[in-house]
Amino acid sequence: MNHEENGSKPGLLERPPLSRVNTIPSVEFCIPSAPIEHSVSRCASRRTQCGDVREKGATEPIPEDVEAQSTLTSPNEEPYPEGGLQAWLVVLGSFSASIVGFGMMNTVGIFHQYIGEHQLKDYNESTIGWIFGVYVFLAFFCGIQIGPVFDSRGPRLLILAGSILSCTSMLLLGLCTLYWHFMLCFGVLGGIGTSLLFTPAFAAVGHFFLEKRGNATGIAAAGGSLGGIIFPLMLQRLFPAVGFAWATRIMGFIFIFCCAIAMLLIRSRLPPRPGQSVLPDFTIFRDPSYALLTIAIYFMEWALFVPITYLTSFATASGAISPAFSYQLIAIMNAGSCLGRWAPGYVADRLGRFNSMIAALVLCAATTFTLWLPASLLQPTTDSERTTIKALAIVYALIFGFASGSNISLTPVCVGQLCDTNNYGRYYATCYTIVSFGTLTGIPIAGSLVQAAGGRFWGVVTWTGLCYLISLACFISSRAFKVGWKLGVKY
């Protein structure tokens, strides 16, 4: 009998031939088949941390809950608390960091609309869109470099650096007057600061939760939606009352308060893993399920930030909605997203992470084609048509906000579903290295489509809906490679 305490596979022996007779989650043991006279019954097999060792030709029924196969911890790893005061304080700290990071990300439409009408009114939609494209790109792409620092040093220094950059970006934004000012201050400084905040904040939540990770991550991510409700309503009142400079400074003071809470509460639990690489590794795309998941997230993120950025501009350009109420549409969207960040995570822990994401993507595509597209095609020539456009925009903002809430909170959990816990950093970094280029180009492409359609938004809406359909197809295919097409399987 060959038994290794760390759970790795026994080395291959040339003779005699081996046949597996039993498997438990952390140990596999093999005995020579030649000397055995008696038949040995085979116990039910489960996938282990060290891979699938099922014999060729063996057919076993797929269990109804295969999600647990992807969430096993290694035998030498401490059990996850799955709760307790310290764990939930970390979630609260991550919630506060999310208010700053994702709250800012959910408010880019307000800044896009305002500076497009004032400081940068001589620039076209696509050119202005590059500022916010760079911001979102850096927010995701910099996680590749931040991950190794988190693993080796913990979150404190990262949260401190992210707090300084994010608060400085917002406090200096009111002084910007030229295009390159906004690009450096908002796009570069704000993007790096956001990444330094939310990357370790979400990673720290994963240190305390495994089975309940979807729920805990959803609660932490809901802070971004809360910020997306407060900031647009606040800026709508402050811009005419105190001007752009003081409005952004007041927002910066709120950032300082939230970052202080994040600094006090966020901490790591698991010890660093020496020699564990979290740098991109493109060889893992040999797994078709992972490759399809990356494509799915790419198209999903390509589509997600278009409504967040352009819904306010669409409402103002439609002629059916006042500029003041156009700002409130983003708040309405984030009100729906606030529930949409938490509820899918709670459901995902019970019905399956992939299953919940697929349902959310169906709703995102359906609302885009049935609500936003008709609103973009109607002309506000009568009071009835203006009322219809306004009603469609409000309902779309609310339902799409709820459906798209999981686009940020559940995708990291889905990536973790396809790998061992100790390989998560490498899988996540590789996936979002690819995805970040979609976030870089999505907003400028949408601006070009608006120009090509003569200032109308039906082209942007159609493109958004098609991206969601492609993402949905890839998510379904990725799931099918793991558990087949059976709908009742929790995955």
For residues 50 and 7, give the distance between their C-alpha atoms in angstroms, rounded to a whole number: 7
Percent of the chain with pLDDT strictly greater than 70: 79
Predicted confidence at residue 486, as pLDDT, reads 80
**Using N-to-C axis directions, what is the helix angle for 424-452 and 125-141, rounded to 10°?**
180
Residue 438 CB: number of other CB atoms within 10 A?
25
Predicted confidence at residue 278, as pLDDT, reads 57
72 conformational bin, left if phi > 0, alpha if psi -120 to 50, beta if neither? beta
Per-domain boundaries in the chain: 1-60, 85-483
Q: Taking the CA of residue 409 as centre, how many other CA atoms within 13 Å lie in the half-sphere pointing to its CB? A: 39
The distance of Cα 404 from the centroid of its chain, to the nearest Å, equals: 10
Tokens of 232: 């647009």
- The model's pLDDT over 16-70, given as tens digits with 9 standing for 90+, comes to 444 443 333 333 333 333 443 343 434 443 343 333 434 434 444 444 555 544 4
Predicted confidence at residue 346, as pLDDT, reads 72
Predicted confidence at residue 276, as pLDDT, reads 57
Residue recorded with tokens 């997203």: 337
In the chain, the amino acid numbered 224 is: G
For residues 390 and 318, give the distance between their C-alpha atoms in angstroms, rounded to a whole number: 9
Predicted confidence at residue 44, as pLDDT, reads 41
Question: In the beta sheet, which residues pair with residue 28?
Answer: 23
Predicted confidence at residue 421, as pLDDT, reads 63
Predicted confidence at residue 189, as pLDDT, reads 93
Residue recorded with tokens 């470099």: 145
Predicted confidence at residue 454, as pLDDT, reads 84
Low-confidence ranges of the chain (pLDDT < 50): 1-63, 68-76
CATH number among 1.10.10.1400, 3.20.20.300, 3.30.70.920, 1.20.1250.20, domain 85-483: 1.20.1250.20
For residues 326 and 91, give the distance between their C-alpha atoms in angstroms, rounded to a whole number: 32
Question: In the beta sheet, which residues pair with residue 472?
Answer: none
Question: In the beta sheet, which residues pair with residue 18?
Answer: 32
Predicted confidence at residue 245, as pLDDT, reads 92
